[in-house]
Structure 1
């Protein structure tokens, strides 16, 4: 197991508490055993939560993260804990969404990343935040994120 691509993982398979701050959350990565193939990975977090930095009230979002890995894959438990660390973190929707995208893209050295942050309304206004690192890779099938414009998002 010492020469396994998984041997450096610290969180998977262990009791790991939820970090109380995104800056303290530790993303982990593993070598991509299919690095010679261009493909898309999608993570969907339909119950993402953070706090309004002004009122402390909870904010809720449906996040869709697409990325094209290079040499590294983000380990999904560490991603889950990273996303969960926003639960008690106060930041505006735009800051949460872009922070998540940049941290994953930088850490994994992704060839391409896109995030859709579809925030549920507070004060009657839903806010959708979209970001991508560059043009969509040519010749690669990346489906629509599938989240309809706000109409009660069900």
Structure 2
């Protein structure tokens, strides 16, 4: 939380560094994350992909651990049916990287949404100030996605995500 809080209020452009072909539509778009709001218990990071402002990463405290959940909204601000998924930090972590395997509520949501393969998702957040790096990762059998942001070069703050003021 401390490393992320140091980025609060700033926005950064990102690049997909994994090589899965299904990510090509994102590669064709400008990708910007904005560390928009920070409290001691929650950090909200909207993710903009081109003109799509539907995604927010929410890093928050759950008891004595950090959790990562994904908020998805439509352009009118209403929640998408597939929202709130994520997990709580597992025991595989370092000072710069945290892993978040899918929690039970997420697994139930993925079953109900007809995407049971996603129940194996493990998301990761990596913050390396000395390398000017913020990375977001998704991994499961047969799927790997990683996007890296250069935190040495802030960009203009994007508009608010859908559903926010």
Please give the TM-score of this superposition, normalised by the length of structure 1.
0.29
More strand by share: 2
Larger radius of gyration, structure 1 or 2? 1
